[in-house]
A and B are shown apart, each in its own frame.
Chain A
Amino acid sequence: MLPVEMTVNGRRQRALLDARKTLADFLREDCELTGTHLGCEHGVCGACTVLLDGDAVRSCLLFAVQADGANVTTVEGIGGPDGALSPVQDAFRQEHGLQCGFCTPGFVVSVTALLRENPKPSEDEIREALSGNLCRCTGYQGIVRAVEKAAGS
């Protein structure tokens, strides 16, 4: 067991963990932040995407101990504490960018990171940036529109 300490959504979290525990499992089980979802556990689907010191990363491919000392933002930390939607979240709702909602946290986090780096992406840039997130319900139609809307707002 190893001691781990990190800031998650602005709150200090400390735990003693098996070295093999993934960051995703730490967030879901130890921090009880179940918005981060596991769709493949091999780094392809992107459902588990979180921000690690501002960068979008796959929490299924990191051990929690690797995030020791880091600042982590999950989907629960994207909107307002009162439940208010962020501009990205609101755009997903307006443009029907989600159906079953399982991949959605990963998209919301990835798009949030994208628009911080590139506030006015072209459609091609949006498609390229999101090609590491799988959605099985929407055919990506509303997702691409949502990113365009969020970038325009």
Chain B
Amino acid sequence: VNTSTAGRFVGQSVKRLEDPRLLTGRGRYVDDVMQPGTLHCAFLRSDVARGRIARLDVAAARELEGVFAVLTAADLNPHAGTMQPTLLLTIAGAPLRPLADGDVRFVGEPIVLVVADDRYVAEDALELVDIEIDAEHAVIVPDDALRADAPLVHPELTSNLGLEMAFPVPPELQALLDGGAPNIVRRTFRQHRHTNVPMETRGIVADYDPASGELHTWMSTQNPHEAKQAIARIAGIPAHRVRVQAQDVGGGFGQKFFTQREELTVALAARRLGRTLKWIEDRRENLIASNHARADVGECAFAIDDDGRLLGTYLDHLEDAGAFPVGATGGAGPLVGLLFTGPYKSPLAAFRTRAAWTNTCARGAYRGPWMFETVAREQMVDAAAREIGMDPLEWRRRNVIGRDDLPYTLPTGMTLEHVSPAETLEQAAALVDYDGFRAEQQRALAEGRLLGIGLGLYVEPSTGMMDPMGTETAVVRVNPNGQVTVALGTCSHGQGIETTMAQVVAEELGIDLDDVRIVQGDSAVTAFGRGTGGSGTAVIAGNACRDACAIVRAKAVHIAAHLMEASPDDLEIVDARISVRGTPTRAVAWHEVARIAHLETARLPEGAAVGLEGTATFKAPPFSWSNACHACTVEVDRATGQVEILRYVVSEDCGVMINPMIVEGQIAGGVVQGIGGTLYEHFVYDDDGNPLTTTFMDYLVPTTTEVPVIEYGHVETPSATPGGHKGMGEGGAIGSPPAVFNAVADALALVGATIDRTPLTPDTLLAALDAFDAAPA
């Protein structure tokens, strides 16, 4: 269902302009950058989760032929500026450091940086480092970290509590939860640790020229301007002498939004050594030491009336921040709490959120960093509906925010508008044939088979709550031949921004798509911007393009009006011709206006500036809300505990779509990450903090054989921003985990079995089924 009125380009599934180079091996990722004189880096990493470095001798490593330098904390740390990201410069966080100094705080923490002629020799040198670490008791899970007698992850701090925020319980809610409500449902849900896994690992080439004092870097990054600022700070180089470039980036999903410890350390080392250094992370490093995510626990309570209507909610949320969380404070707990009631009407809500340091890999952003609110809420909805004897779809219908309820202010204070949760709920239910499936489920049960259906309904906030997350600048330049180059601070890592933003510009200027080229991923040729992440590009960069095009269009029309002796108000731009509305024969070609603006300036109107260019900065409202409903059906094999996904449906409202093909591609990628995260992917530590899933043989990313065909429905409720777009890049990964969980829980409920944590491995499900079988009747 698509009610959109598509434009010439906006709204069309235009084939991607970046594809030909990527399909033919002509993409340029960071490891493809080969500068003359490059030296190669490798890190020696801790194999102990917490301990003192008793001995560290790098003499033998330094003597190996082909080794240029072996750097320890003593060599680098005293020269390092702050390592906090720009967003969080004023917020106290974990004490970040380039290399471990005196002690180690998680397995994988960098201790030594080797610089050598090639990576093979660098790894040889790592073998020659003489190191002894006295292991000490490590804290691996948040519950242990917050015990009064827990050892400190960071001895510089006074506790392992990294963050605590409470939204106080109003007396009316307390009364309901103390027994005043007709139904009080309580559950605790645990989401397990998993990670982003971009197919391209992290990497940097840092080229420092001591003569000019300039540092030129190529990185795998989502955010060149943030990288530039962060590198300038750590390396002590004025920011205008730092340039960060990235042409093609092999995925990020949040991991490459902030500049992490290793890239900062290599940039600092390049500055100290005055050389060109390359560091390309290997997969083991990426799995154990880049960032992890999703390790959350939520104790939930719903107060519900006799008709199944929500009266109030409480969430006590605890997240595992790891040792050195990316983004300093560890995750997005406050948003988890603020958004817990999501797309449902609830008069009252309160929460507490805490983050605990542990001796594990950093927590970092992963596609919807606050998405535990949806996991906890949607799993809670099904549990609550089941407990009061109501179908989960019916429960949602009674509680969902409808069109007539808008704008709707959440009990925590944020206001939802331009959303359609009720419509997407109904569309998803219809597409998946909810009622038909219920009948099929009963027939299958009669044959002894366990089928289940699950829904995941959510609202997704995007754009910038904090500077500089909400702002992007577009520079639209028309060359003397009429073709257009657009410079954006974005950095595409799969989103197809070179295509979607070209669609917006071609639409706005009335010219051909082939005549627009997007330049991004280079801090030297684009204005300061927010990068690509947080589902922000369509709204923020899209509207920056739109506003810059309006400036260009006005200039072009002003020139054309002068040339034709017409009024600017009577002119329009259609198919690269500026013509008098209603009289298409009275026209001047777009390229002719561009030529005159640059090359025949005597013909310009009096006072008109030479050239044809516009720059605009768009500042987004604090929130643009999109929403979606996922519906999933599964069969759980009672004998093996294996889950097979039968159907997967997404009904999404991201406002006006720029490119439906790309929108559906983004949804699909997110959904499959969520399926993987719920069923297969699990980053496991043993009790001492040793990682056990350090290869793709152990950390299981979904393959073609596990994923279903995904079916889509679209509802279009334009946002209040000029293009009517809304963010949607993260949503697929937000809705899918609870939809899959709820489908499995629904199947298990047929025989009275329950689950309260992920991953839903065959072992977990067999244990849940066995527990029921063993229980007395």
- CB distance B25 to A36 under 8 Å? yes
CA distance A93 to B283 in the complex (A): 28
- CB distance A93 to B15 under 8 Å? yes
Scan B691-706; emit 1 where CB is below 8 A from any A CB, else 0.
0000111000111110
Report the minimum CB–CB distance from B659 to chain A (whole Å): 9
CA distance A81 to B696 in the complex (A): 35
Scan A58-77; emit 1 where CB is below 8 A from any B CB, else 0.
00000000000000001110
- CB distance B668 to A34 under 8 Å? no
- Kindly name the residue among B34, B249, B494, B662 whose own CB sees the greatest number of chain A CB atoms within 10 A: B494
A126 on the B face (CB < 8 A): yes
Report the minimum CB–CB distance from B585 to chain A (whole Å): 38
- CB distance A37 to B29 under 8 Å? yes
Residues of B contacting A132 in the complex (Cβ-Cβ under 8 angstroms): 703
CA distance A83 to B26 in the complex (A): 10
- CB distance A96 to B494 under 8 Å? no
A6 on the B face (CB < 8 A): no
Q: Which of B20, B494, B703, B732 interacts with A134 by CB under 8 Å? A: B703
Decide yes or no: A137 and B27 within 8 Å by CB, A85-B20, A96-B662 being known contacts: no
CA distance A142 to B493 in the complex (A): 17
- CB distance A136 to B703 under 8 Å? no
- CB distance B283 to A39 under 8 Å? yes
- CB distance A140 to B283 under 8 Å? no
- CB distance A83 to B24 under 8 Å? yes
CA distance A139 to B704 in the complex (A): 8
Residues of B contacting A92 in the complex (Cβ-Cβ under 8 angstroms): 19, 23
CA distance A55 to B707 in the complex (A): 26
A13 on the B face (CB < 8 A): no
A128 on the B face (CB < 8 A): yes
Q: Which of A85, A100, A130 interacts with B494 by CB under 8 Å? A: A100
Residues of A contacting B251 in the complex (Cβ-Cβ under 8 angstroms): 99-100, 102, 136-137
Residues of A contacting B732 in the complex (Cβ-Cβ under 8 angstroms): 139
Residues of A contacting B665 in the complex (Cβ-Cβ under 8 angstroms): 96, 99, 137-138, 141-142
Scan A116-141; emit 1 where CB is below 8 A from any B CB, else 0.
00000000001110111111111111
Report the minimum CB–CB distance from A25 to chain B (whole Å): 8
Residues of B contacting A133 in the complex (Cβ-Cβ under 8 angstroms): 703-704
- CB distance A93 to B494 under 8 Å? no
CA distance A117 to B34 in the complex (A): 36
Decide yes or no: A127 and B199 within 8 Å by CB, A42-B697, A85-B24, A140-B672 being known contacts: no
Residues of B contacting A39 in the complex (Cβ-Cβ under 8 angstroms): 199-201, 250, 283
- CB distance A42 to B199 under 8 Å? no
A18 on the B face (CB < 8 A): yes
- CB distance A44 to B695 under 8 Å? yes
Decide yes or no: A42 and B197 within 8 Å by CB, A102-B29, A126-B704, A137-B251 being known contacts: no
Q: Which of B18, B25, B494, B697 interacts with A35 by CB under 8 Å? A: B25
B253 on the A face (CB < 8 A): yes
CA distance A18 to B124 in the complex (A): 14
Q: Nearest CB to that of B709 among chain A residues?
A: A141
- CB distance A140 to B197 under 8 Å? no
Q: Nearest CB to that of A145 among chain B residues?
A: B709
A33 on the B face (CB < 8 A): yes
Residues of B contacting A104 in the complex (Cβ-Cβ under 8 angstroms): 22-23
CA distance A44 to B248 in the complex (A): 23
Q: Which of A18, A32, A134, A137 interacts with B669 by CB under 8 Å? A: A137
- CB distance A18 to B24 under 8 Å? no
CA distance A128 to B704 in the complex (A): 7
B282 on the A face (CB < 8 A): yes
Residues of B contacting A40 in the complex (Cβ-Cβ under 8 angstroms): 283, 695-696
B32 on the A face (CB < 8 A): yes
Q: Nearest CB to that of A29 among chain B residues?
A: B34
- CB distance A35 to B26 under 8 Å? yes
A8 on the B face (CB < 8 A): no
- CB distance A136 to B253 under 8 Å? yes
- CB distance B703 to A131 under 8 Å? yes
Decide yes or no: A34 and B199 within 8 Å by CB, A42-B283, A100-B250 being known contacts: no
Per DSSP, are chain B's interface residues mostly helix, strand or loop, or mixed? Answer: loop
CA distance A98 to B18 in the complex (A): 10
CA distance A19 to B577 in the complex (A): 63
In this complex, how many residues of chain A approach chain B with their Cβ under 8 Å: the count is 58
Residues of B contacting A44 in the complex (Cβ-Cβ under 8 angstroms): 695-697
Residues of B contacting A42 in the complex (Cβ-Cβ under 8 angstroms): 283, 695-697
B69 on the A face (CB < 8 A): no
Q: Which of A38, A89, A131 interacts with B24 by CB under 8 Å? A: A89
- CB distance A141 to B200 under 8 Å? no
CA distance A93 to B19 in the complex (A): 6
Scan B244-257; emit 1 where CB is below 8 A from any A CB, else 0.
00001111010000
A143 on the B face (CB < 8 A): yes
- CB distance A93 to B198 under 8 Å? no
- CB distance A144 to B704 under 8 Å? yes
CA distance A64 to B15 in the complex (A): 37
B762 on the A face (CB < 8 A): no
CA distance A104 to B19 in the complex (A): 10
Q: Nearest CB to that of B15 among chain A residues?
A: A93
- CB distance B704 to A127 under 8 Å? yes
B646 on the A face (CB < 8 A): no
CA distance A33 to B28 in the complex (A): 11
Report the minimum CB–CB distance from B558 to chain A (whole Å): 39
Q: Which of A28, A99, A126, A139 interacts with B707 by CB under 8 Å? A: A139
CA distance A53 to B198 in the complex (A): 31
B16 on the A face (CB < 8 A): yes
Scan B23-57; emit 1 where CB is below 8 A from any A CB, else 0.
11111110110100000000000000000000000
CA distance A44 to B494 in the complex (A): 22
- CB distance B24 to A100 under 8 Å? no
Residues of A contacting B26 in the complex (Cβ-Cβ under 8 angstroms): 35, 76
Q: Which of B32, B198, B664 interacts with A136 by CB under 8 Å? A: B198
- CB distance A35 to B24 under 8 Å? yes
Residues of A contacting B283 in the complex (Cβ-Cβ under 8 angstroms): 39-42, 45
Q: Nearest CB to that of B705 among chain A residues?
A: A131
Residues of A contacting B31 in the complex (Cβ-Cβ under 8 angstroms): 28, 34, 37-38
Q: Which of A33, A76, A101 interacts with B250 by CB under 8 Å? A: A101
A47 on the B face (CB < 8 A): yes
Q: Nearest CB to that of B670 among chain A residues?
A: A139
Q: Nearest CB to that of A88 among chain B residues?
A: B23
- CB distance B704 to A131 under 8 Å? yes
Residues of B contacting A131 in the complex (Cβ-Cβ under 8 angstroms): 703-705
Q: Nearest CB to that of A108 among chain B residues?
A: B23
CA distance A102 to B252 in the complex (A): 11
CA distance A45 to B662 in the complex (A): 24
- CB distance A41 to B24 under 8 Å? no
Residues in chain A within 8 A of chain B (CB atoms): 18, 20-21, 28-29, 32-42, 44-45, 47, 74-76, 78-79, 83, 85, 89, 92-94, 96, 98-105, 108, 126-128, 130-144
Can you show 6 pairs from A to B with CB atoms below 8 A apart?
A: A83-B20, A89-B24, A102-B200, A137-B199, A138-B668, A139-B732
**Among all A-B residue pairs, the 3 with the closest Cβ atoms:** A35-B25, A102-B250, A101-B22
**What 20 additional pairs, Cβ within 8 angstroms, besides A44-B697, A131-B705?**
A29-B34, A34-B32, A37-B199, A39-B200, A40-B283, A45-B283, A75-B24, A89-B24, A92-B23, A96-B16, A96-B661, A99-B251, A99-B496, A101-B23, A102-B27, A103-B250, A134-B696, A137-B494, A139-B671, A140-B703
